[in-house]
Each structure stands twice: as structure tokens, then as C-alpha cells.
Amino acid sequence: MKGKMKGGMLYLIIVGVLLIAILFGANQNFAPKEQLSLGQLMTNLSEGNVDQMTVRWSGDDIAYVTFSIKGSENESTIPVVQSEFAEYLRTLPNDVIANMKLDSYVQQQSMFWPIFQIVITIGMFIFIMVFFMQQMQGGGGGGGRGVMSFGKSKAKMTVDDKGSTTFKDVAGLDEEKEEVSELVDFLKNPRKYTEIGAKIPKGILLVGPPGTGKTLLAKAVAGEAQVPFFSISGSDFVEMFVGVGASRVRDLFEQAKKNSPAIVFIDEIDAVGRKRGAGLGGGHDEREQTLNQLLVEMDGFGVNEGGIIIAATNRADILDPALLRPGRFDRQVVVGRPDVKGREAILKVHAKGKPLNEDIDLKVVARTTPGFTGADLANLMNEAALLTARHNKRAIDMEEVQKAFIKIAVGTEKKSHVVTEKEKRITAFHEVGHALIHELLDDIDPVHSVSIIPTGFAGGYTMPLPREDRLYRTKSAMLDEIVSLLGGRAAEEITFGDITTGASNDIERATQIARDMVTKYGMSELGPIKFGDEQEEVFLGRDFSHQRNYSEDVATAIDQHIRAIVENAYQRAKQLLNDNIDILNRASEILIIKEKITGHEFRKIMRGEEINMEKVEEQSIFNFDEVEKEAKQFFQEEAKLEEATHQDVMDEDEEI
């Protein structure tokens, strides 16, 4: 940055000097500063008041007359017409000319100066044009990117000599670190592998959802090995100019070979490595030319030249097969979402440098954040720190972490938003419909809080509390989830005899789950058959003629089964709400008054207990044991009541 500033100052100084030279040259034209007029000069000449006069005759018809009046020390210079002024001087009396000091000479004009002015002006114009073109191409200040540097790689080379990013900074990825640790050992001791004929992988592809730490893992490899690290994004290869991408690939690998051993990291490689033949341009597409060059360079990258390519993507399914074959990306490392132990380790990393209160238990926070990636957990701790500073606290406590969790999971509440009483009532019954079914069904998570305060684009929310990490989803759990999603629409229909658009997102999600059950997971009477393909996006050119792998009759059957799943779930939701209509009405009326109730309060309402109507009870989102205990207690009481009712019916039958 300093180099660019110095270069810019130098250019400005040069331009300033040239401008001064031109202005100075312009001033040499003897442009006069007129003090007295020509009429005053002629009057003073005829009266003999001119003390001295100098006439500079030029090559054209203009002369410059410098004169002074007797008794005055000031001089005046005025332009005159040569022929007319010479004729006028001849008419003056001889005594006037004799009493006046008169000098007359011809001014010689240099032919060099006008030419010099033209050359300087043209040179300045060319210089300014080149300067601005270099700035537009990022070449100001000696950055090495001139007008013709389109084909140069945009990779940034860093040498982590101090090892500032190491495996210690990568938490929750123990198995992934083991996969790449041998790369570090090879870069440090290549002879150990070459002597026994071992070939280190040329390339490693890191695959996983966004925010799981793929880029951080690649930086840690470079930091541990303390070798040059070239980082570039896949989109940096592709430009509007034909052939630029391939040229940049060549330049990148040349730089890596010159600085061998080195690591080349290509982030989001799917931007340049998509399957060939998937574009309207066919084989002549610019992106495909770039991919072809990348394939060639990876083949030409010597086995033991000390260069290793690491790439990251979250769409490995769309990469070209030639890119994934052994000899190019020999190894794929899946960087998935961390488990509870991994989340705890990640939280410890992001808690460094932050003052934590004694009530903070990162193990409990990790337990209640299933599905969070490393980036999500970093955001959670950062939001908690921001809320702590906003509330003028000196240390982060569990309350601020809880508020940050709700802000990330649900959004910021818009308490100032004006809502009509009718809409508030509809929203209350809708959200209680969701919450009630969450508490009545075993296979879905219990409720943490229910609110009718507008949040984001929603008029309210029902926030469940995840129980645990789930590797699989059972059929019964997916059916229960569909029932819970349709609970809001069912509550509206039961209570008001009408329905609203508020359940649009619920219906969309429920339909998608039902479709996945039928077409992807084989959870229908159609059997364990996969219908359709995994392609989520249409690739222009390749899939225009793509046909689905089932007939029209099967498509009709799929639609019928999806409809049946959703319809049965909706009827089940209405049945559950009708069986608990008193709880639905009471909880909704309380929610209208309080606007927000916790899961603890909601379970009290279900048991028929009274709650504090003046304020919202604060229930810790991390006290999951208490929530689980309340839920078990409720289900046990329901089972005892059902058993007693069944026994009464049996006794009545026996009496009859």
C-alpha cells in the first residue's frame, strides 16, 4: 500500500512539473499587462510627456510598446499594430523624438519552443492515459499488473514462517487432520517417502457444507509445513476475455514450481471444474478451456516436485470426473458438521480472548447446538460478545449466549411493529397449534418458546429445542414433523373456520418432506425405489433432453402418495388439536396477553397450572435436563389418565 502511495506521488510530481513548464512557456509570449491605453500613449507622445519608450517589433503585425511618463516610475506595456504605429511615429515632431529615449529592436522567436510545447502536451496526454489504464488493471505503484497482465495469476502467495495458523487452531476435525497430516510430513521430509518409492497424493479435495473449516484446514497445512501458500478462488480464473483463464492456470503453476515446495489452494473449485459439455458453448466454452488447462497442469505437476494442490467445494457432485480421477485429486476428505465433542472444542477456540462468566459451560452450549458448523459457533460467540458490550457487562454470561442463540436461530424481534388484534389472535392460535403438537408427539423436539412478536418475515414463531445430534431420520419422526408443520393451519381451521396465507412456508416444507419420503427414501407403498435423479439444478445444454426415469403412471402414483401423506398428517393434526381443544384455547388466550411464553410456561398450561401473567419467565435454553424431565412427567400423567379411563370403560362393560 505504501509503495502504491509513493508511486502515485511521484506521478503527480512529474505531472506538476510538466504543467509548470507549459505555463512558463506560455508566459514567454510576452502577454502584456496593460496599464495605460493606446490613446493615453498617443496623447502623451504628442505633448512630449513620454520619458522613454521601447518598441519590440515581432515577425507578425503586432508590436509591444513599453513606455514611461515623465515624473512616474511605472512602466506600461501595450500591443499595437506595427504598420499603423510606425506611420504614427513619422508624424511626430523631431523635437519630441529627440527629447525621448527611444529603443527599437526586432524580437527573434525560437522555432524550438512551440515544437517543444506540442511534444510536451502530447507526452502528457499519453502518460495520463497509460497511468489510468494501469490503475484500472491494478498496476498502480509498481504492483506488477500492467495493461497486458490479464493472463497473470491472481493468486496471493503467503509464507507462514511463524506458523500462525496450525492444527491447534483447527478444532473438531480430528480425523480430517489425520488425513492431511502426512502432507505436512512429506513437505518437511520428502526424502523419507521417495526412498521407499511412496507417491504422495498430488491433490486433495476438501468436500463439505459451507462454514465447516475447509479453508482453515488448508491454511493449517501450510502453517505446519511452513511453505509458500498460494490461495486463489475458482472464479478468479474465468474472465470475459478468451484464453485468460488458461493463461492464469499456467502462470499459477509456474509460480508454484518456482517456489517449490509449495501448496496451491483453490477455493470453490466448482466455479471452474464443472462437468464439461454442460454449457451452451460446448467444448469451446471459455470455462471448459480453463478446466482443460487445469487438467493438463495437474498431470504435468511432477509427482515429487514438492507441489501439492488442495481444493475446496461443497458441490463435489457437479465436478468433472477427469478432475477426480487418481493422479489428479487422489484423495477426498469430507469435512462435515462437528459432533458434540467437536462443537465443544470449537467453542473453546472461539472463546479465547473473551472474558467468560463462571456460569458459562461450553459443554452444555455444545449439547444444545446440534447442526451448527464452526462458522455458526464463531458467530454465536461473537454475537454473545456484542450483546455483552451493548448491555455494559464485563464478562459473557449464559444469558447473553442464550439471547445470541435465539437471535441466530429465529431472528431479531420487531417489538415496535403494529399488529391488529385480529391478526394477533390468528397468529396466537396458529403458533399454539404448532407448539401443542410438538409437546404431544414423542418423535419431535419439545418447545422452548412461543411468540407472536413479528420476527423477520414471520408474524410469530414456535422455537423447538433440539434434543441431540441425529445421524438418521426415521419414518415416524418425519411423519410427526409433517403433522407439526400442519398444526398451525389446522388450528386456524378449527378455531376460525377459515384459513390464511400464514401457513405457506409450513405447507412447502411439509410437501417437500413427503416428496422426499416417496421419491428419495422409499418410505411409501411404491417400495424402496429411487425416483428421479439427484440433479438439483438444470445445466444448460446437457439436461435439455434429459428424461425422467419413470413413466407417467408412476408420476401419477407418486403425486397420489404425496397427497395421501400430507392429507393424513393434516387430519391427524386436527384430531390432536380437537382432543386438546381446551388447552389450545387457554394457551392461545394467554399468548395473546403475554405475546411470548416459554416452553416451561407452556407445559404448565398443559397441566392446568397457573402462570405469572405479568412478565415472561426466563427459561434457560441450555437447561435441557429440566425440559426433558417436564416432558416425561407430562407423558406419564397422560398415560396414567388414559389407563384409568380405559379401566373405567372395562368396569362398565363388565357391569353391563
- Residues classed as catalytic: 431
R_g of the chain, CA atoms, integer Å = 42
C-alpha distances in Å from residue 115, one per residue of 58, 128, 417, 625: 19, 20, 74, 92
Give the E-state strand segments of 290-359 in sequence order.
307-313, 331-334
417 is in an annotated binding site: no
- Residue recorded with cell 497442469: 297
210 is in an annotated binding site: yes
Burial of 48 (0-12, 13-18, 19+ CB in 10 A): middle
What is the spatial distance between Cα 387 and Cα 638, in angstroms, rounded to a whole number?
Answer: 41
What is the spatial distance between Cα 114 and Cα 100, in angstroms, rounded to a whole number?
Answer: 36
Burial of 568 (0-12, 13-18, 19+ CB in 10 A): middle
Strand 331-334, strand 203-207: pairing: parallel
CB 528 within 8 A of CB 522: yes
CB 599 within 8 A of CB 449: yes
66 is in an annotated binding site: no
371 is in an annotated binding site: no
Three-state DSSP at 280 gives coil
Grid cell locating 256: 508454484
290 is in an annotated binding site: no
CB 320 within 8 A of CB 542: no
185 is in an annotated binding site: no
What is the spatial distance between Cα 243 and Cα 249, in angstroms, rounded to a whole number?
Answer: 10
* SS3 sequence of 485-499: HCHHHHHHHHHHCCC
Neighbouring C-beta atoms of residue 639, cutoff 10 Å: 10
208 is in an annotated binding site: yes
326 is in an annotated binding site: no
Burial of 583 (0-12, 13-18, 19+ CB in 10 A): buried
CB 133 within 8 A of CB 212: no
Q: What is the DSSP string of 248-259?
A: HHHHHHHHHHHT
Rounded to the nearest 10 degrees, how much is the dihedral formed by the CA atoms of 580, 584, 586, 590?
150
Three-state DSSP at 321 gives helix
CB 90 within 8 A of CB 40: no
- CA-closest candidate to residue 365, choices 380, 355, 375, 353: 380
Q: What is the DSSP string of 185-211?
A: HHHH-HHHHHTTT----SEEEEE--TT
174 is in an annotated binding site: no
Task: Dihedral sign for Cα 285, 534, 375, 215, please.
Answer: negative
Burial of 79 (0-12, 13-18, 19+ CB in 10 A): middle
Grid cell locating 130: 497509460
Binding annotation:
208-215, 430, 434, 506
Binding annotation for Zn(2+):
430, 434, 506
Binding annotation for ATP:
208-215
